[in-house]
Amino acid sequence: MSQPRYVSIEGISRRFQAADGRTTTVFEDLWFSMSKGEFACIIGHSGCGKTTVLNILSGLDKPDDGAVVVDGTAIEGPALDRAVIFQSHALMPWLTVLGNVAYAVSSRHKGWSRAQVRAHAMRFIEVVGLKGSENKRPSELSGGMKQRVGIARALSIEPKMLLMDEPFSALDALTRGTLQDEVRRICLETGQTVFMITHDVDEAIYLADRIV
């Protein structure tokens, strides 16, 4: 029996108009769906529209045609039911590890006390293996540690869907392999629904339940 659709991309198209008036079609009439808890990867060469698809899923961009539905609700813009992990860590340099994660938590749970926010943030800092580094600032962290903070921050808001845009591409091979293992473990343990962009076929085969 097939699993019910949790994420549904329904005939989306995206076109951009250049300064000279010419229109470029990035993709057209794109359809696919995902089940809850599925890890899907989209692979392709640079410039094929992978990031544009992710931006539409995140609500940072809108399709010219079609629609995207997550858990029965059409995406109209960015929202806290979707979290994005970018190629760069995008951390706030003036905040500590705990501060970066807690900022996301407090945005999601506005009525929580400081103690509740801290406890929740620390739980996810521990999940990514950074307990003991919560008071460090980004300038004191390695590239792999910064990306772990980004992962903890994204997971801490407990999104319906986690979106990852080549999150390991800027890391050395050893760190990349370690983080791939960690992300795979975390997603299996939490049942997180994930849509990830990569140009690395081996990475997609290792991490994903399905490759698009």
DSSP letters along 138-159, please? GGGS-HHHHHHHHHHHHHHT--
pLDDT tens readout for residues 91-149: 999 999 999 999 999 999 999 999 999 999 999 999 888 999 999 999 999 988 999 99
Q: Mention every residue, 6+ apart, whose C-beta is less than 8 A from residue 132.
A: none
Domain residue ranges in the chain: 1-81+159-212, 91-158
Identify the architecture of domain 1-81+159-212 in CATH. 3-Layer(aba) Sandwich (3.40)
Once rounded to an integer, what is the mean pLDDT over residues 183-202?
91
Identify residue 22 by its one-letter amino acid code. Answer: R
Q: How do residues 151-191 score in pLDDT, each as one tens digit?
A: 999 999 999 999 999 888 878 888 889 889 988 988 888 89
Residue 34 pLDDT class (50, 70, 90 cuts): very high
89 pLDDT exceeds 80?
A: no
**Strand pairing category for 23-34 and 39-43:** unpaired
Question: pTM (2 decimals)?
Answer: 0.88
